[in-house]
């Protein structure tokens, strides 16, 4: 069994060596433990520092593409390197590396396919009171959207099996944490959350420029991912609301018309007709979107099989 710990990096020359030095050399249940550093187009000497610190594998991205892209690139590299389990952690040493054995234990026991580290965001001292409340609220929203009991939706400290990594497709440019949980819930992946410790922050977060930026990007990511995996539910909800509003206005006009006062309510009748048409069209769009989502599932299955074939052929070439 091979465990690869991947670390997406961007301008982490000052911290990457310290982070790598704390990673475990051996983890119970694995014959090999290796480190992979993904350099997301850094402008400093992150790659050189990682090489000097003993990283087993280095991946250099041609330009800065963002955390989500670096995470996705790391997964692909880990799969090509034959990882049976992949652990993702941050380059700024936010998560306690000593908790990695605890993180992979549910996978080794066969009780989970993906494990996410729970930082206890409701009481995390490094977060401001407002950020703690927003993180807690966000996790509750994610629980409803993904259909999972999620205590810490934005934790990047996570482990996954090879099969889950093969099925994971990250489309967001912002972050992978929310989208992959929604995807896991949609794929009925067995997800576990385990308490983990964190270290004092070495620098301010680069992903979250401010609370407004965090709320805006997270909301867009959640809506986009939910609409992708649950399009019928989204469009039926919107369409039904608009249709009921139109019917309500139509009934209002009918009420006044029966009282002989319909002459001054023609605008209500026009608006009711417009809303009813828009609501019905939205419902039809929902049906089309659901068919598209079904086709997307077939494409994902084809992509999964292609990935497996590519990795099998690669393994066969290496054994020759």
pLDDT tens for residues 21-63? 999 999 999 999 999 999 999 999 999 999 999 999 999 999 9
Report the distance separating Cα 273 and Cα 251, nearest Å.
11
Report the distance separating Cα 286 and Cα 52, nearest Å.
54
pLDDT of residue 90: 92
Q: What confidence tens digit (pLDDT) does each residue in 226-280 have?
A: 777 788 888 999 999 999 999 999 888 888 888 877 666 788 888 999 999 999 9
pLDDT of residue 205: 64
Q: What rounded mean pLDDT belongs to the chain?
A: 87
Q: What dihedral angle (degrees, nearest 10) is formed by the CA atoms of 68, 73, 76, 79?
A: -90
- Taking Cα atoms as reference points, which of 53, 37, 41 lies closest to residue 5? 37
Report the distance separating Cα 285 and Cα 302, nearest Å.
26
The pLDDT > 90 percentage for the chain reads 49
Report the distance separating Cα 81 and Cα 152, nearest Å.
30
245: which residues sit within 8 A by CB, 6+ positions away?
Answer: 275, 279
pLDDT of residue 230: 80
Q: Tell me how long the chain is.
A: 320
pLDDT of residue 202: 66
pLDDT of residue 220: 79
pTM above 0.75, yes or no: yes
The angle subtended at Cα 282 by Cα 278 and Cα 287, nearest 5°, is: 150
Beta strands in the chain (DSSP E): 2-9, 32-39, 57-60, 85-88, 114-118, 158-161, 191-195
The angle subtended at Cα 158 by Cα 153 and Cα 159, nearest 5°, is: 140
Report the distance separating Cα 76 and Cα 58, nearest Å.
13
- Cβ atoms of 123 and 197 within 8 Å: the answer is no
Residue with tokens 């939205």, as numbered in its chain: 282
């Amino acid at each position: 069994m091979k465990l690869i710990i991947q670390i997406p990096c961007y301008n982490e020359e000052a911290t990457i060596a310290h982070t790598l030095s704390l990673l475990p050399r051996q983890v119970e249940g694995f014959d090999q433990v290796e480190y992979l550093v993904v350099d997301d187009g850094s402008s400093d000497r992150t790659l050189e520092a990682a090489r000097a610190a003993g990283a087993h594998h280095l991946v250099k991205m041609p330009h800065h593409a963002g955390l989500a892209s670096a995470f996705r690139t790391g997964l692909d590299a880990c799969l090509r390197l034959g990882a049976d389990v992949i652990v993702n952690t941050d380059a700024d040493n936010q998560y306690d590396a000593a908790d990695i054995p605890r993180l992979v234990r549910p996978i080794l026991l066969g009780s989970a396919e993906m494990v996410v580290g729970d930082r206890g965001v409701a009481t995390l001292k490094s977060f401001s009171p407002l950020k703690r409340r927003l993180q807690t609220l966000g996790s509750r929203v994610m629980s409803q959207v993904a259909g999972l009991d999620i205590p810490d939706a934005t934790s990047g400290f996570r482990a996954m099996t090879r099969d889950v990594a093969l099925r994971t497709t990250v489309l967001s440019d912002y972050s992978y944490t929310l989208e992959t949980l929604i995807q896991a819930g949609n794929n009925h992946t067995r997800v576990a959350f385990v308490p983990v410790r964190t270290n004092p922050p070495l620098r301010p977060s680069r992903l979250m420029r401010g609370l407004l930026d965090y709320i805006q990007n997270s909301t867009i990511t959640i809506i986009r991912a939910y609409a992708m995996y649950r399009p019928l539910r989204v469009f039926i909800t919107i369409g039904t609301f608009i249709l009921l509003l139109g019917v309500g206005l139509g009934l209002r006009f009918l009420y006044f018309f029966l009282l002989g006062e319909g002459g001054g309510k023609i605008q209500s009748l026009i608006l009711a007709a417009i809303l009813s048409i828009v609501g019905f069209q939205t419902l039809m769009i929902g049906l089309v979107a659901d068919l598209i989502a079904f086709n997307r599932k077939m494409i994902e299955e084809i992509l999964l099989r292609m990935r497996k074939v590519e990795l099998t052929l690669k393994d066969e070439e290496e054994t020759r």
